[in-house]
């Protein structure tokens, strides 16, 4: 297989992801007419229409789906071979593929990656963020080397505990837990697919034997945080989102039935094979250094 063949496979893969000629051309650093011409050449080689064009973009034909699946398989195999070859060298090369829970990707990971890219300038990073269930899916489908999730996962591969962080009731007015029952301001909650929501529900029921008077549901934890900091209502937030720079904000720790702080776990997961790669090993070392330096929340 020559380089032009791999280039054709990359073109098909990118176009299938974008489903838009202009966006695909931008990602491939070619003009839109050049991309269209190359696609026509590829379709002639396969003697089939692979994409149908319309004003809204492009769609895959049944034959196109088969060819794109083939292209993705070949590209994935090529990447694994390159990683194996690069692992033979002393320098850290290759792409580190990480899937991270959004809350970790926004509040903890940037400082870790800053150290990583500084120490290993030849390595590349592919980063996906999302809910913990999406991170696990990426791991199961072998799309990433390692995943970082919140909560306590069921995972049969390598599982490394990173840190715990406490939960706080956060507000600009409430200074004691009991005042929650007196306020008419809403509890602002963010959507989560982990057991976070259930933990909050259990704590609330133990504490108050009732439900909040008013609630506002938002889709992102950052939205929840900013609404709380702007005095719209109060929220229950993990310490990882609170960096100590908040002004005029009261933070009351949540306690369990034993009067101990309620904490959330964060885990790093992966398969044994991924941990043999130099870029993964290097990342784990950086993570451990960072945790040793900064400690728990």
- Decide if 136 contacts 149 (C-beta within 8 A): yes
Nearest to 94 by CA among 123, 114, 120, 118: 123
pTM of the model as a whole: 0.71
pLDDT of residue 88: 65
pLDDT per residue, tens digit, the chain (297 aa), is: 444 777 899 999 999 999 999 999 999 999 999 999 999 999 999 999 999 988 888 999 999 999 999 999 999 888 888 877 776 665 777 889 999 999 999 999 999 999 999 999 888 999 999 988 899 999 999 899 999 999 888 898 999 999 999 999 999 999 999 999 889 999 999 887 667 778 888 899 888 888 888 999 998 888 999 999 999 999 999 999 987 767 789 999 999 889 999 999 999 999 999 998 889 999 999 999 999 888 666
Nearest to 172 by CA among 183, 161, 162, 181: 183
pLDDT of residue 41: 92
pLDDT of residue 3: 47
The DSSP string of 255-273 is B-TTSPBPEEEEEEEE-TT
pLDDT of residue 237: 93
- Decide if 235 contacts 189 (C-beta within 8 A): yes
List, in sequence order, every beta strand (DSSP E) within the chain.
51-54, 57-60, 95-101, 124-130, 146-150, 158-171, 187-190, 215-218, 234-238, 250-253, 263-270
- Domains located in the chain, CATH noted: 3-87 (1.10.10.10), 95-163+265-294 (3.40.190.10), 166-263 (3.40.190.290)
CA 59 to the chain's CA centroid = 28
């Amino acid at each position: 297989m020559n380089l032009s063949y791999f280039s054709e496979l990359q073109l098909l893969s990118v176009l299938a992801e974008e489903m838009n000629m202009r966006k695909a051309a931008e990602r491939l650093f070619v003009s839109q007419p050049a991309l269209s011409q190359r696609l026509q050449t590829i379709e002639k080689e396969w003697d089939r229409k692979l994409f149908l064009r319309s004003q809204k973009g492009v769609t895959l034909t049944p034959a196109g789906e088969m060819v794109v699946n083939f292209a993705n398989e070949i590209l994935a195999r090529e990447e694994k071979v390159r990683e194996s070859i690069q692992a033979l060298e002393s320098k850290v090369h290759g792409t580190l593929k990480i899937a991270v829970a959004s809350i970790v990707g926004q509040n903890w990971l940037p400082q870790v990656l800053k150290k990583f890219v500084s120490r290993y300038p030849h390595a590349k990073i592919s980063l996906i963020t999302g809910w913990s269930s999406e991170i696990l899916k990426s791991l199961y489908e072998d799309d990433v080397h390692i995943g970082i999730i919140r909560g306590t996962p069921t995972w049969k591969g390598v599982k490394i505990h990173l840190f715990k962080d406490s939960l706080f009731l956060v507000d600009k007015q409430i200074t004691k837990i009991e005042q929650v029952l007196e306020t008419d301001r809403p509890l602002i909650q963010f959507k989560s697919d982990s057991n976070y929501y259930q933990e909050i529900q259990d704590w609330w029921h133990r504490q108050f034997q009732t439900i909040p008077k008013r609630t506002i549901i938002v889709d992102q934890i950052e939205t929840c945080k900013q609404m709380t900091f702007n005095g719209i209502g109060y929220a229950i937030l993990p310490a990882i989102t609170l960096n100590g720079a908040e002004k005029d904000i009261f933070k009351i720790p949540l306690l369990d039935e034993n009067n101990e702080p309620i904490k959330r776990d964060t885990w790093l997961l992966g398969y044994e094979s991924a941990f043999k790669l130099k870029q993964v090993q290097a990342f784990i070392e950086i993570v451990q250094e960072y945790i040793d330096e900064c400690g728990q929340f």
